[in-house]
Structure 1
Amino acid sequence: MEKMIHERIDVVSNQTNDHSISMNDNHENLSQELDILRHMVENIQEEIEESGFRQEMTNIDTNKRMNLLEMALNMTVAEIQSSKSGHADFANKTMSLLRNVMDIYRNQIETENSTSAGDNLIDDVTVRENTTTPSSDSIDSTLPEDTCTHPKAVTSNMISCSASSTYSRKHTCAKAFDGVLQTNRVGSTWASKGEGVGAWIQATFSQEIIIKEIKLLQRFAEAEANRQVDILYDGNIVQSAILPARGSRHWNVIRLSRGVPSSSLKITITEVYGTINNGFKEISVLGCF
């Protein structure tokens, strides 16, 4: 009887071990499946965003073509009205006008494909401060004497960063400080994950910077542009600013009348023009260090 009991115990024990091994295998397989699914979801999200980007580009290109065609037709009609008696002269002028239209179109296409860092086509738009918050003048009274007379750009190797969320591995906070200005293109941008109001990005400097200017370049799609931000400096100094420039063709430039010493900079989105995956194409900080 005792032998039978021991044999039975051994059988149950072996079955239990086999069941445990099977459970571990199932758990590992499930974890692998979940990782694969997460990766698939991330790829699908990126494809959706890129598809939206391509549609935006198609719409812009179509609008440009329509505007150029309308311009050509308007000019042609005007020439018809002024050249009724001279058909040869009219034909020559019409061909000249159409050649000019084609030149304009080619120049626009070349401009879109050649934009790079430092491109003069990315112009500046001065940011308007929100009058409901302390202005830079009232902030000035709390700051030491300004000694920063020749500010320069803070380089990316002096900046570490964090963010409230990241859309994907291709849209990390570091992309906002890498100095790459790929306007009207997917890539090299910080994007939050489904955030609008409340999304934030923070830069921590390797040494204290006397900040004199902050330049914010929005992401390409205007449907996810940011309308207003709060900027937090050391000492709980907060500045609120409205960003008039949408898209990635114009810098929103915040100029400080006096330098603000700070070892970090946190930008929080407080109002948006629209919400998808809000973020910034590029953030440039100028100061003395």
Structure 2
Amino acid sequence: MTGTREETRSTPAVRPPAHEGRRTATDRHRSKDARLAYALVAPGVLYLLLVFCSIILLLLSYSFRTERTSRLFAPFDLGTWTRLLDDPYTADVLWTTLRVGAMVAVLAVLIAYPIAWCLLRVRRWWLSGLLMFAVFSPILISVVVRSYGWMLLLAPHGLLHGPLGGWLYHEPGVILALVHVELPFAIVPLLGSLRSLPEGVLEAAADLGASPWRRLRSILLPLTMPGVIASLQLVFALTVSAFATPSLLGGGRVAVLAQSVYQNIQQLQWPLAAAQALVLLGVALAVLATFNRLGRLADVRHRAPADGRREAGV
């Protein structure tokens, strides 16, 4: 017993390293900051959720009726949905909306990618600022004004009527104008993604003998794929809900779902307009969810070889 007590007294107490104490204090500080951030954001998020949910419930209420009335409570009826789902015109309008949205999103990203790359590669501050102003200044102009400008350019006596004759009041003219309208929104996510590239990664690939096309296909595109997916999502969502540009440039020949909703509201067909709005919202959310899924699959495929090389010690 005496020897055991002496050994216990002589054994020094084990103290945790100093950096562990500092790390614990840092983690507590970060947790406190996170709780403060959540508390500040919670009222705004709650307000938006309440407004969004109220609008969705109101649209559902209007869609399950057939009366032309603004009353909040009306007899429940599935006639509007039956009429909508059996109408071939609505299916054709929905297909046109999705086709135009997909084409505008792809074309806008194809044009925005080299523009975003050039904006980041320019070294002179005044030239970079001038290019930024030229790219993003159209946002300051109304969409209606820009649409009328494209109408003047595509008109019979316009500057672009020769090479692009016959595009006015047809789908190609609508797509062209929408690409111009949505182009700044496609550039913003790409700028953020390109800025996050590791420094010197392309130069290192060039030193190892990779061609420009190989660098673009194997390094630049996989690393910036989140920005590409975000640009596609943003442009597609803005395009399928666009109303002014398809109405003006389409001239009634290019019918999209947002325009059909507006026309039904004008004709006091509120149940049909509500049902069409819900269909547009559901289809748009489904397409955006598909984009998210594709982005995650692309990210997993890109990280798998790197993880395998890291585990092998390469």
After TM superposition, the score normalised by the length of structure 2 is 0.24
After TM superposition, the score normalised by the length of structure 1 is 0.26
Q: Which has the higher contact order (CA 8 A, sep 6+)?
A: 2
